[in-house]
Every structure is written in C-alpha cells, then in structure tokens.
C-alpha cells in the first residue's frame, strides 16, 4: 500500500497480490475491498487502464455488499478520476456524483473538494465552462482551506486545464506548480497528468516549446500559496 502511494508500483504489485490472496483465504471482506481497490490503482498506474477500472468496479460492488460507505466513497472517487483519464465521461460522472452525495451526507470535506474538482473537469469537457470553473474554484478553495496538498495540486491542474485554450502560459505555470506539490509530497501523478495530456500538448504547441517550458518552470519554482492565489483570481474572472 505504501509502495503504491510512493509511486513504486512495481514494488507494490506483488505485495498487494499477496495481501489480497491472504485476505481472500480468511474472508476478511473489508480488507479484500481495500486490496482490490489498491490493485485497481496500481494497474492503472502501470498503464492497464481497463483492468484498473474493472478492479475498481469490483471494489465498489464489494463495498456495497458489506455496506462500507467509507470504502465505497474511496472506490467511487478513484473510479471517477480513472474513467476521466480513460475518456469514459459518462461512467466518471455517475461515480463522482454518487461520491459527492455520500460526501455531502457524511460531511466529508476532503471528498467534497475532490469531487467538485473532477466534476468541474467533466463540465468543462462537455462545454459548460461556467459551471465547470465554479466547481473547480470551489474545490480548490476547499482543498486550500483544509490544507490538503494533493487535492490542491489536483485543483491547480484542473484550473490550468479550464483556461489553457485562452491563457496557455498561465496554464503552464499552474501545471508546473501542481507538479511541484506532487513531487514534494511524494505522490504519483500518472493518472491525473494523463487527464490533461492533450491540453498540455496543445498549449505547448500554441506558444512554442521554450516559452512553455519557461512558464512551467516558473510555476514549479514559485511559492505554492502564491500559485493557488493566482489560480483562484484567474477562476474568478469572467469567462
């Protein structure tokens, strides 16, 4: 589990498979749900998106069967993010809307921030930029308020994606700032970065490699709080 968090998926895979085998033998249902979910994330990080989605879907089904709302919420959030990366917006939306409902009922601020950010990404994708920016802005503000660095980085990436067509250099700065946070906390960014791969390449092409890289590095080296403030100001402008 900790190997996966650190991004060492090769080291995590045999460990989680061994753990899952043991927990299936002793029929520890909660541990099985946890391991199947973790396996899904590892598979996705390794590039096997379809098997990753299938494993996460299994963890969601198992969590429902044992009425484990915490595990269900975690599985839905992971599934939603991975489905966005895979381009399966319909299933991503369904998972994230259900996760948001659970988070709202249980008053889980972290999950509300997370689901707001990714539902905002989906809204921007389907052309409802006003609603998308409002969701991303709310999620980023919540992540900053509770001091959740990974969700703050997620929000910076989402903010960058929402404005990259109009302000590619600003987007590059925000993507650089998000990358710096991921590196600092030692979290893997493979799945999240895949969501914005096309937007990143489009922005790079529009301004040129040198200008794009310089802006990215500028954001990466800037103070994180300053970059969050810049993103929040940007999202408050008329779009």
pLDDT tens across 113-139, in order? Answer: 999 999 999 999 999 999 999 999 999
How much is the pLDDT for 22?
92
Do 111 and 77 contact (CB within 8 A), yes or no? Answer: yes
Confidence band (pLDDT; 50, 70, 90) for 194? Answer: confident
- Percentage, residues of the chain above pLDDT 90: 76
| DSSP assignment string, the chain | -HHHHTT-HHHHHHHHHHHHHHHHHHT-HHHHHHHHHHHHHHHHHTT-HHHHHHHHHHHHHHHHHTT-HHHHHHHHHHHHHHHHHHT-HHHHHHHHHHHHHHHHHHT-HHHHHHHHHHHHHHHHHTT-HHHHHHHHHHHHHHHHHHT-HHHHHHHHHHHHHHHTTT-HHHHHHHHHHHHHHHHHHT---HHHHHHTHHHHHHHHHHH-HHHHHHHHHHHHHS-HHHHHHHHHHHHHS--
Q: Is residue 223 over pLDDT 70?
A: yes
Domains and their CATH numbers in the chain: 1-88 (1.25.40.10)
């Amino acid at each position: 589990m900790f190997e996966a968090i650190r991004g060492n998926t090769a080291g995590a895979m045999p460990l989680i498979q061994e753990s899952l085998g043991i927990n299936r033998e002793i029929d520890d249902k909660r541990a099985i749900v946890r391991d199947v979910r973790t396996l899904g994330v590892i598979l996705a990080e390794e590039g096997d998106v379809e098997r990753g989605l299938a494993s996460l879907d299994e963890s969601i089904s198992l969590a429902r069967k044992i009425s484990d709302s915490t595990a269900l919420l975690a599985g839905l959030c992971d599934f939603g993010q991975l489905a966005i990366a895979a381009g399966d917006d319909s299933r991503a939306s369904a998972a994230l809307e259900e996760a948001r409902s659970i988070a709202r009922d249980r008053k889980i601020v972290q999950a509300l921030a997370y689901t707001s950010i990714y539902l905002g990404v989906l809204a921007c994708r389907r052309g409802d930029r006003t609603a998308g920016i409002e969701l991303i802005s709310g999620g980023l503000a919540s992540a900053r308020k509770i001091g959740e660095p990974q969700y703050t980085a997620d929000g910076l990436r989402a903010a960058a994606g929402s404005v990259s067509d109009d302000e590619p250099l600003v987007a590059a700065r925000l993507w650089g700032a998000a990358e710096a946070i991921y590196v600092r906390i030692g979290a893997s960014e493979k799945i999240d970065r895949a969501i914005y791969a096309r937007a990143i390449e489009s922005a790079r092409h529009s301004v040129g490699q040198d200008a794009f890289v310089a802006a990215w590095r500028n954001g990466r080296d800037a103070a994180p709080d300053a970059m969050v403030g810049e993103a929040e100001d940007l999202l408050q402008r008329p779009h």
